[in-house]
Amino acid sequence: MAAAVTRRINASLHVEATGNGAADGESRRDSAAAHSPAAKRINDAKNSDVWVAVQEGDMPGDSSRALLFRTMKVKGSILHPYRFVILLRLIAVIAFFIWRIRHRNHDGVWLWFMSMVGDVWFGFSWVLNQLPKLNPIKRVPDITAIRDQYESSTSGESKLPGIDVFVTTVDPVDEPILYTVNSILSIIATDYPAEKYACYLSDDGGTLVHYEAMFEVANFAKLWVPFCRKHCIEPRAPENYFGVKRQPYMGSMQEEFMSDHRRVRREYEEFKVRIDSLFNTIYQRSEAYNRKNTKEDGVKATWMADGTQWPGTWIEQAENHRKGQHAGIVKVILNHPSYKPQLGPPASIDNPFDFSNVDMRLPMLVYLSREKRPGYNHQKKAGAMNVMLRVSALLSNAPFLINFDCDHYINNSQAFRAAMCFMLDPRDGQNTAFVQFPQRFDDVDPTDRYANHNRVFFDGTMLSLNGLQGPSYLGTGTMFRRAALYGMEPPRWRADTIKVISKAKEFGESTLFINSMIDGANQERSITPLFLEESVNNELSTLMTCAYEDGTPWGRDVGWVYNIATEDVVTGFRMHRQGWRSMYCSIEPAAFRGTAPINLTERLLQILRWSGGSLEMFFSHSNAFLAGPRMQPLQRIAYLNMSTYPIVTIFILAYNLFPVMWLISEQFYIQRPFGSYILYLIIIIAMIHVIGMFEVKWANITLLDWCRNEQFYMIGATGVYPTAVLYMVLKLITGKGIHFRLTSKQTEACSNDKFADLYVVRWVPLLIPTIAVLIVNVAAVGVAIGKAATWGLFKEQAQHAVLGMVFNVWILVLLYPFALGIMGQWGKKPAILFILLLMSISTVAIMYVTFRAIYPSDWSEIATSLGKQN
Ligand SMILES: O=c1ccn([C@@H]2O[C@H](COP(=O)(O)OP(=O)(O)O[C@H]3O[C@H](CO)[C@@H](O)[C@H](O)[C@H]3O)[C@@H](O)[C@H]2O)c(=O)[nH]1
Ligand SMILES: [Mn+2]
């Protein structure tokens, strides 16, 4: 009843949502209205010049159940020319190779041959990249349909299945605790029946601060959650909600909203102060206890509020209480709520809030920190996820689960329902292992200098995969089917009964866990709260030990995959090779939002980990060639591309550094006739850009997004990918893996300059190759100008130099964000960069001219003779 009342009130509201103040317009859109038919029509109209609905006839399966999503494809007038240009380019590339073979260089065969290998690889990797993009598909979840089918508007009763929500964190400082509590609050307050989901926080640091922060969260949630429900607040992460300047309210309770808003805001400020002072509170409390209980060995424990010692890591690290060495901890902070809605109290003298029409229940909230022991490889996030998978099986055992990094929050509280539209759809729902949402980011600088938004990937590449077997798993914002994580086969490929029991031993020694598995695989189920007895507690501890997985397939065939820098892509890959499919779910306003590194070095280190992980994938049991017959051919190609793309760097780097040769001599030619060669290249490269423009159109991204992507590709390809390749070679030789550190979150976010991190230079060797490329190409431009001046523009030599210069300039344009980045604070004034650039170019040009005047030919002849010897 209460839920129904709340929903009706909600429907009459009209709340202007979010908007982070940044240039990102999407989140500023009206949230409550976004789901209304009117809004849908507007969205459809906006998209109809690109996307058209696919006519969906009778689908196999239960015909009494409504379809829960619509499928859209790119309109023929865009799709056909797009495919045609791709075909044209394929022909052009082949013609180019034939031409090159016919015009082999005779004076520098080695150079010709090497560049030929490079060009063949460019062509090949382009095919790998392009083929999977031929059929992009968009799927639009129908929230109204799922409500109609699974929720009763009169009784408020819901048949929606259960969801376990996983959040991972490690360090309360590196990953600011404010992000984590906001993430948890947005989850607890999301619009999904409270008795149908549970929230788990995995704290790999085992710090008391996180544990106590969860108590503060549980307390503040008692106010925050009913407030969100009553007024349909979006987004439900308080920091982001209050961060917006303007909040016009169109509901019928204007006055009440204003006063509630004001009060909640004040409470939130106090809540933040308490969170901030937790470090201090705990420190002082522990000092006080330690004074009372001084031990001879002088070990200082960290104490909990109830006067017992914290089992996790201590402020002053001690035996069994340090990072990487402590017991497993699991604490239920909020217990599973009752099945019936509970209305709140009306306003009174000591309670200013009228919650008499609002369901006050909160979902289950659990804190856990797995056991850590020296000598064990804890497998980072993947290890933490697997422990959560087992622990949650005993505590709530929902058939679905969704995972978030601690810096991501729910921005659209219909997101869970949207994901369910795919999981429960009568067509292929049963065979869907996971639903991936795009990653969207706050706090990125307005021009997105380092392509943090990654729109080409999230809106282009992912929609393409969606038309095949489905998007790859991207690490956060992903709804999973529990059965798929247990390594079970999709229904399409398995006998009716799930045979887990026969393999019991494979999943470890816990009978309780194994008994829970069949139940957890049943998609109709809600969650089963378990009465916490002593025996269950013991079992939970067992499930969290380091030794539990010894000799089992955990980390390979079960759960998240181990021994790789990027656990995400391979975990999704394992499901796809089993024949599962996945779905991409992009909704407005964005389902989830998170933070991204805007510092150049951090960003480069992040893509170093991704590209290193990709190569590791290629050289592991997760190689796409080994995937077996259930993987779709084009999906396999996409995975092949995903795991080999960094290799191209060898050739890109070689080409980018090639102008060094020209400094020594004019006689080095990759290909003759040089003029035609350059022309061919220009055509082939231009065609990539034409294809790119089609992709900009159907992916509905901006030109800036696309340019940034091009630029950052070149920045990555000159510095990061070579490093990744080097690491991989070393790993293959020495057998030692790559150590990647946590991506540092933006801690300067609170300082005066919101984008301060953008202007901080952290010098690392990773920057060197790109700097070298910059210098070489600036010099090459200078030399080209010098040549033109020396020889006169109409001499062949000078013309060649100028033609070659086109590429040098192009590379400089691509590396422009990098150049700004290494200038640090000076990067705020790009004019300085241009002055520097002009000065260096003219210096080189003048040097060349003078040098020529003094030594007209010697150098060049020496170099030529060297070239001929080879
Ligand atoms: O020992 C560890 C290390 C990390 N994490 C968590 O893992 C998440 C991701 O780590 P982060 O350093 O933030 O990586 P990003 O580069 O920001 O993350 C992207 O790339 C990762 C590797 O591909 C994916 O796992 C992430 O989901 C994806 O968002 C964070 O929540 C961490 O708290 C742990 O729980 N335990
Ligand atoms: Mn992250």
Expressed in angstroms and rounded, the spacing between residue 272 Cα and the centre of ligand 2 is 22
Per-residue pLDDT at 23 exceeds 70: no
Among protein residues, the one whose CA lies closest to atom 25 of ligand 1: 475
Expressed in angstroms and rounded, the spacing between residue 566 Cα and the centre of ligand 2 is 12
Cα–Cα dist 458/290, whole Å:
52
Domain boundaries, the chain: 82-134+646-739+764-863, 161-245+252-410
| Weakest-pLDDT range from 189-198, 269-278, 588-597, 665-674 | 665-674
Among protein residues, the one whose CA lies closest to atom 28 of ligand 1: 475
342-370: pLDDT as tens digits: 999 999 998 899 999 999 999 999 999 99
| Nearest ligand atom owner, CA of 381 | 1
Q: What is the pTM of this model?
A: 0.90
Among protein residues, the one whose CA lies closest to atom 15 of ligand 1: 743
169 CA: nearest ligand 1 atom:
33
Among protein residues, the one whose CA lies closest to atom 20 of ligand 1: 475
Among protein residues, the one whose CA lies closest to atom 30 of ligand 1: 405
Which of residues 810 and 294 earns the better pLDDT score?
810
Pocket probe for ligand 1: among 202, 743, 746, the residue whose CB has the most ligand atoms within 8 Å is 743
Question: 405 labelled as ligand-binding?
Answer: yes
The 3 state secondary structure assigned to 198-217 is EEEEEECCCEHHHHHHHHHH
Expressed in angstroms and rounded, the spacing between residue 535 Cα and the centre of ligand 1 is 33
Expressed in angstroms and rounded, the spacing between residue 732 Cα and the centre of ligand 2 is 28
Among protein residues, the one whose CA lies closest to atom 8 of ligand 1: 405
| Nearest ligand atom owner, CA of 476 | 1
Pocket probe for ligand 1: among 165, 170, 601, the residue whose CB has the most ligand atoms within 8 Å is 170
Residue 843 neighbours by CB distance under 10 Å: 13
Cis peptide before 629 (omega within 30 of 0): no
87-135: pLDDT as tens digits: 999 999 999 999 989 888 776 778 888 889 999 999 999 999 999 999 9
Question: Strands of 592-595's sheet, edge to edge?
Answer: 409-410, 592-595, 441-442
Which of residues 43 and 81 earns the better pLDDT score?
81
DSSP 237: -
597 CA: nearest ligand 1 atom:
17
Expressed in angstroms and rounded, the spacing between residue 595 Cα and the centre of ligand 2 is 7
Task: Give percent of the chain above pLDDT 90.
Answer: 66
Of residues 776, 808, 818, the one with CA closest to residue 678:
808
Expressed in angstroms and rounded, the spacing between residue 381 Cα and the centre of ligand 1 is 6
613 CA: nearest ligand 1 atom:
23
Please give the pLDDT value at position 784.
Answer: 86
Expressed in angstroms and rounded, the spacing between residue 322 Cα and the centre of ligand 2 is 24
Residue 575 neighbours by CB distance under 10 Å: 26
Expressed in angstroms and rounded, the spacing between residue 508 Cα and the centre of ligand 1 is 26
Of the ranges 2-11, 335-344, 630-639, the best mean pLDDT one: 630-639
403 CA: nearest ligand 1 atom:
27
476 CA: nearest ligand 1 atom:
27
- Helical segments of 131-167, H only: 143-150
Q: Indicate the average pLDDT of the chain.
A: 87
Task: Give percent of the chain above pLDDT 70.
Answer: 87
383-431: pLDDT as tens digits: 999 999 999 999 999 999 999 999 999 999 999 999 999 999 999 899 9
643, two tokens: 């795991």
With cut-offs at 50, 70 and 90, classify the pLDDT of residue 536.
confident
Among protein residues, the one whose CA lies closest to atom 26 of ligand 1: 475
Please give the pLDDT value at position 40.
Answer: 47
| Nearest ligand atom owner, CA of 439 | 1
274, two tokens: 């308490």
Q: Which residues line ligand 1 (CB under 6 A)?
A: 168-170, 175, 202, 204, 380-381, 384, 405-406, 475-476, 566-568, 606, 742-743
| Nearest ligand atom owner, CA of 175 | 1
Please give the pLDDT value at position 738.
Answer: 64
Expressed in angstroms and rounded, the spacing between residue 436 Cα and the centre of ligand 1 is 16
Cα–Cα dist 233/561, whole Å:
37
Strand partners, 137: 73
Q: Which residues are catalytic?
A: 204, 568
Cα–Cα dist 39/461, whole Å:
27
3-state secondary structure (DSSP) of residue 529: coil
Please give the pLDDT value at position 3.
Answer: 40
Residue pointed to by tokens 């001690």 = 318
744 CA: nearest ligand 1 atom:
12
Please give the pLDDT value at position 363.
Answer: 97
| Nearest ligand atom owner, CA of 568 | 1
Which of residues 455 and 14 earns the better pLDDT score?
455
60-82: pLDDT as tens digits: 555 567 899 999 999 999 999 99
742 CA: nearest ligand 1 atom:
12
Provide the residues around ligand 2 (an ion) whose CB is within 5 A.
405
Among protein residues, the one whose CA lies closest to atom 7 of ligand 1: 381
Question: 204 labelled as ligand-binding?
Answer: yes
Per-residue pLDDT at 226 exceeds 50: yes
586-608: pLDDT as tens digits: 999 999 999 999 899 999 999 99
720-774: pLDDT as tens digits: 999 999 999 999 998 876 666 666 665 544 456 778 888 888 888 999 999 999 9
Stretch 313-321: mean pLDDT = 93
With cut-offs at 50, 70 and 90, classify the pLDDT of residue 59.
low
Among protein residues, the one whose CA lies closest to atom 17 of ligand 1: 743
Of residues 366, 364, 367, the one with CA closest to residue 338:
364
Q: CA torsion 206→210→211→217, rounded to 10°? A: -160
609-640: pLDDT as tens digits: 999 999 999 999 999 999 999 999 999 999 99
Per-residue pLDDT at 796 exceeds 80: no
Please give the pLDDT value at position 108.
Answer: 73
Stretch 378-382: mean pLDDT = 95
Of residues 110, 132, 207, the one with CA closest to residue 866:
110
Please give the pLDDT value at position 770.
Answer: 95
Cα–Cα dist 608/605, whole Å:
5
- CA distance to 2, 11, 225, 228, 868, per residue, from 344 (Å): 10, 20, 11, 13, 89
Please give the pLDDT value at position 249.
Answer: 73
Please give the pLDDT value at position 826.
Answer: 87
Cis peptide before 673 (omega within 30 of 0): yes
Pocket probe for ligand 1: among 474, 567, 740, 742, the residue whose CB has the most ligand atoms within 8 Å is 742
Cα–Cα dist 774/58, whole Å:
59
Per-residue pLDDT at 778 exceeds 50: yes
- CA distance to 9, 230, 347, 838, per residue, from 253 (Å): 10, 10, 15, 62
With cut-offs at 50, 70 and 90, classify the pLDDT of residue 36.
very low
464, two tokens: 């393409």
Strand partners, 582: 434
Which of residues 253 and 567 earns the better pLDDT score?
567
Question: 222 labelled as ligand-binding?
Answer: no
